[in-house]
Structure 1
Amino acid sequence: MFEVTSATVAQWRGRFAVRRPAGLADEPRAGRPKAGLVLTGAERAELTRWARRAKTAQFPALRAKIVLRCAEGGTNKQVATELGIAQATVNRWRARFVEDRLDGLADEPRPGRPPSVLLDRVEEHLLAECPSRPLG
């Protein structure tokens, strides 16, 4: 009728015998436990500011959203689904935040020659190189 093995039936009967109806509740899935992610008030305020600011680059904003959602109790899989990103991305930024807090969300140095124009000066250079065209 339900197409379950006798071992499964025995398992559920045993749980019920010991814990009564509470034994029939779903248990957390096995796997590596995630490090607890608890934010201080200052961290939550800073991450919220990063996530909401229109001028914030998109990568730091996404990282802030990941950490905020994980702190609310979402699993890495749930957060990945909600934000439309890979679960490995959530795993990475959660772990880096737990290890280094807000500093862990910064970009790591890239290999190779450093850029000749720093990111905060790109707009200034673009405006100097490409003056606006007259309308009409």
Structure 2
Amino acid sequence: MRIGELAQRTGLTASRIRFYEKSGLLSTVERRENGYRQYGPQALWMLEIIAGAQSAGFSLDEIRSLLPDSHAMWQHDALLESLQRKVAEIELLQQRLVQNKARLLLAIDTLKNRPEDVACADRPQWVLDRLRADRTDDSNRS
């Protein structure tokens, strides 16, 4: 199939497909006499793997190391280890996001519910003190 059809079937742009080819991620490309690229059916599933891995947070270098070698052989152990490592990274990121969300919600609550009797010039310090106290409480609970 030509690049336009491949782009349509994968949902990727032709320029993205050419980028993957230039980056060495997509090597199953033949050139016809007229210079047009000709892609076999394996290009379709390779692009699905590449796009899926990128959306899961893998870098292009990580993807390159995980793709099958020139003999279409998967490095099973390396692939499994890399997938497990990515899951651990995602779990760590999720924990940080939960903590960041909690801090932001506390900041919002603190700003909305600050005491009116605190002088305007003292309010930023009051808010910061409350946020610091919450961080101290969190570390004491750990």
* TM > 0.5: no
Using structure 2 for the length normalisation, give the TM-score: 0.29
Higher strand fraction (1 or 2) = 2
Higher helix fraction (1 or 2) = 2
Between structure 1 and structure 2, the one with the greater Rg is 2
Using structure 1 for the length normalisation, give the TM-score: 0.29
